[in-house]
Structure 1
Amino acid sequence: MKNLKKQRRIQVIIVAAVALVVATGLIGYAMRDGINFFRAPSQIAEAPPEASEVFRIGGLVEEGTLVRGQGEVVRFSVTDGGASIPVTYTGVLPDLFEENQGMIGTGSYVNGVFEATEILAKHDETYMPKEVVDALKEQGVYQEPES
């Protein structure tokens, strides 16, 4: 009788462990398209990702590169001080989007151009995404905002 309880307990633990592994695998499989990794322009220049990979790029909109094309097409470059990556975006830019300001874009790197599907801009004069600040600090070009 005592041996039967011990055996039943071991079976329950094994079933629970298998269920946990299966649940973790299913969650990872479901989220595979929703996870976008961040890359700085210098990282993209050093090791360009595949054209099929969707990721986030962040940095400062390089001064003098913002060109509005026909319709909703916008072209500009993003820099972190070490490298500059050309970006194209079709759509309406956020109201606060401008040159020398922080931004993050989601999209893919195709033929040397980052084709953005979404652009996010700063929301006040002091905000900059953490990833962008870290990348700019790595390049030695980040300046603390004045209080």
Structure 2
Amino acid sequence: MKHLLAIFTLLSFLQLTALAQSKRDSLAIKQAALDYIESQHKPNAAQMERALHPRMVKRTFWKDKATGKDYVRETSTESMVLLAESYNTKGDKFPINPKKEVKFLDISERTASVKLIADEWIDYMHLVKLNGSWKIINVLWQYNDVKQH
């Protein structure tokens, strides 16, 4: 029984190793998340576009000022590319050394989940590997201070 357990453990490890991400994939996933935030630090629409899948949807919760009710607000790739081009043109939206910490939550062969911790907010991102490139396809974000929503 002991030998059977050892063989099963070894086979499970080999299977996980075979499916695990390569160092190249891990770096590409991290770079996509960094391109997303850095394109806002120093306005760069092409850098944002490189990070996002064309059908990416970014969501957050918001509070309607008139009714006080919560709702889900959505942003598209096109809007994010325009934001990257115009959001920080004066260089006053971020600290001199902005926070940009990427934490890997889950990685599989062609999908990944990461958490980007920025200065004022966090972004949970889903990425997909298509045609050899990692792209952000979903983002769910919130301010650290949820009252800002």
Query: Is TM more than 0.5 here?
Result: no
TM-score w.r.t. structure 2 length? Answer: 0.32
Q: Which has the larger Rg?
A: 1
Higher normalized helix content (fraction of residues): 2
TM-score w.r.t. structure 1 length? Answer: 0.32
Higher normalized strand content (fraction of residues): 2
